[in-house]
Structure formats: structure tokens, C-alpha cells
Amino acid sequence: MQWIALVAGWSVAAIFAAWVLVFANGTPAEPLVSQPGDFVKVLLNALTIAGLYFIVASGFTLIFGLMRVVNLAHGSFFLLGGYIALEFQKLMVGKSRNILGDDVGVFDWVIPLLLAAMIAGILGLIMQQVFLRWFQGQDMRETMITIAISVILADMMVSWFGGIGVDIQWPGLIDRAITVSGVRYSVSRLFMLGVAIVVGVALWAWLQKTRTGMVIRAGVDDTSMVQALGINVQLVFALAFFVGSALAGMGGVMGGSFAGLAAGVDGQWLLNSIIVVIVGGLGSLKGALAGSLLLGVVTAFAPSYLPAGFTNYSIIFTFVLLGAVLAWRPYGLFGTPE
């Protein structure tokens, strides 16, 4: 059965490539042979949104995929991090949100990002220490606790920040466009991709090359044995939870700068993170990278290369991707049976 799924997958990929390259007339983006600039722009869109997916999903991978803690409040930390950064940015600029404009400097964006990530990490750590550490391995209780916290945070954010969509202002240095392969493209989107690469390399080095990362991986596989060696596993797990929540807050700042903040965005980004982890495989950083890239390709290419009257159905292809990967690799692309 696996080889049948493999052949079917490659066949679908070949049909998709032929459509994009040659036959996609009458779509929002013309085929590559006639409008190469459209293809380059869509490809850049896929890579840059994949970078944002990876930043958020890497934190979810660390908490859910690696530590096996069901944290359904991850999306709430994303949205809360964005709102916190927006409030700090307002204070730093000293003007109302409506007239921030080009007055926003680099530090007016970077410092709120760092503060928001720190606060999101601390709140995630408090949640783990107060509510979750006592129920480690009890998936249903973890699920119910984090759902309750997510609902509470969502209601509080609506009360504090309102339900109207708002944006975090990019610094003027990157809020501009450059020419890439003959196409005018946003520097801020390329910046998101660059940050994602830095985050990915840093996480890989931490998990694979440091003693703390080795303890995290060993503690997940055999907590009792690691504790018998005199290592405080709970302290290491707490650090991992802090980092995962901080990445959600960082992603919220970048997402709020890229696409804005509004009620309901938390659920959307939780779903994105779950899809990335399931497609890539639990506990795999390279799986999170692969899942982010595949989701980014679907997110960018589906609405651009579907016929003009069918672009509203592009969301379906996200779940086609999910179903196809699970049919071929039930544990995800880089996941392994437990």
C-alpha cells in the first residue's frame, strides 16, 4: 500500500507542476512560461510565509512534539505576544497607533518583540509549573486545562484590546521593497524568512549540540533513568516550555506586523502549528521545517493558481496535504512510532 501512495503522490505533484508551468491560464497568477515574474513572486510568498509558520510551529514542536505536552493555549500566547508588543511600541513611539508611520525605528520594533517574547515565555512557564507539571503524560487533562486557559486568555484579550483588527508597525528600515529577479518584493517578508533561518539554526544547535538539549531528548524518552542520574528533569522541561512559549510570542509580533492582530487569530495559528507538526512528525525539528515549507507552498500556490472563480476553495488543499501525508507516512514525514 505504501508504494501505491508514493506513486499517487508523485503523480499529483507532476500534475501540479505541469499546471503551474504551462496550463494555468485564467488564474490570478499566469503560468511560468508566460509570466515568470508571477511565479517568482508566488514562490517568494511561499518561502516567507513558511518562515513565519516555522517560527510559531517550532515552539509548538518543542512543547507538544518533543515534550509530548498537549498545549492548546499556544495560539493564545501567539496573539498575546502580538498585543503586548503593540502596547510597548505605542509607549516607545509616544504617539497614537494611527500616526505611527515612518516614526517607528528599529529599536521601536525590536525591543517590544524581545519584551513580548519574554513575557509570553514567563506566562507559559507559569502555566506549566502551576497547572501542567502535575499531569505530565495525562493527555486529556492537559488538553482540558490548556483549552480552559486559552478561552480565558481570549476573552481577556477581547476585553483589554477590543475586537477590531490592529497592526504592529514594521520599522522603516525594512518597511520597503526591493527588486528580486525582476520582481518588486517586500523586504519585511524576506526579513521574516531570515529570522526563521536564525531560529531554526539556533534551535538545532541547542537541541543537538548542548547538554541541555540532550537531557530534554533523553528525558522525554526515559524520564526515570535521567532522574536516576541526578539530573533535575523538571527544571530542564520548564526551560523548554519557556522557550516554546517565547517562540509563540515572537511569532505573534512578526505575525501582527505581517498580517495584523484580531480576535480569532489565535485559533488560526494554533491550527497552523498543529498541521505543521502532524505533517512533519512529532518531535522533529527538520519535520517542522518540512511541514512549514509544504504548508507555505499550499498557502501561496493554491489561491494563486486555482481558476479565478475557485480561489475561495484554496483552504481545502491544506487538508488535502494533511490527508496525503498521513496516508503515506502515518507518523509524519520525519516522525517515528513511539
pLDDT tens, position by position, 225-251: 766 767 777 788 889 899 999 999 999
Contacts of 320 (CB under 8 A, 6+ apart): 298
Q: pLDDT: is 190 or 33 the higher one?
A: 190
DSSP 8-state symbol, 130: I
Tell me what pLDDT residue 270 has.
94
C-alpha dihedral (51, 55, 61, 62), degrees to nearest 10: 140
Residue 282 is which amino acid? L
- How far apart are alpha carbons 60 and 287 in whole angstroms? 12
Question: Any idea which residue has 475557485 for its cell?
Answer: 310
Out of 19-28, 141-150, 230-239, 326-335, which region has the weakest mean confidence (pLDDT)?
230-239
Contacts of 280 (CB under 8 A, 6+ apart): 61, 286, 287, 288, 289, 290, 291, 292, 332, 333, 334, 335
323 pLDDT above the threshold of 70: yes
Residue 69 is placed in which grid cell?
505536552
Read off the pLDDT of each residue in 127-155 and give the average, rounded to a whole number. Answer: 90
Tell me what pLDDT residue 96 has.
44
Q: Which helix (H) or strand (E) holds 185?
A: strand 183-186
Contacts of 139 (CB under 8 A, 6+ apart): 70
Tell me what pLDDT residue 68 has.
79
Q: pLDDT: is 260 or 11 the higher one?
A: 260
117 pLDDT above the threshold of 70: yes
Residue 44 is placed in which grid cell?
517568494
Residue 171 is placed in which grid cell?
520599522
Tell me what pLDDT residue 98 has.
43
Chain segment 70-99, per-residue pLDDT in tens? 899 999 999 999 999 999 999 888 654 444
Residue 272 is which amino acid? N
∠ CA 130-206-283 to the nearest 5 degrees?
Answer: 65
DSSP 8-state symbol, 306: S
Out of 9-13, 132-136, 142-146, 193-197, which region has the weakest mean confidence (pLDDT)?
9-13
Q: pLDDT: is 245 or 104 the higher one?
A: 245
Q: How many CB atoms lie within 10 A of CB 140?
A: 9
- How far apart are alpha carbons 260 and 263 in whole angstroms? 10
Tell me what pLDDT residue 221 has.
64
Contacts 24+ apart (CB under 8 A), 147-151: 147/72, 147/73, 149/73, 149/76, 150/72, 150/73, 150/75, 150/76, 150/266, 150/270
What CATH number is given for 2-328 in this structure?
Answer: 1.10.3470
Tell me the percentage of the chain whose pLDDT exceeds 90.
52
Tell me what pLDDT residue 97 has.
45
Instruction: Give the dihedral sign, CA 54/57/62/65.
Output: negative
DSSP 8-state symbol, 178: E
Map out the domains of the chain as residue ranges.
2-328
**pLDDT-derived band of residue 147, with 50, 70 and 90 as boundaries?**
very high
Contacts of 276 (CB under 8 A, 6+ apart): 53, 54, 57, 60, 61, 288, 291, 292, 295
Tell me what pLDDT residue 105 has.
83
- pTM, two decimals, is 0.91
- How far apart are alpha carbons 239 and 86 in whole angstroms? 26
**pLDDT-derived band of residue 338, with 50, 70 and 90 as boundaries?**
low
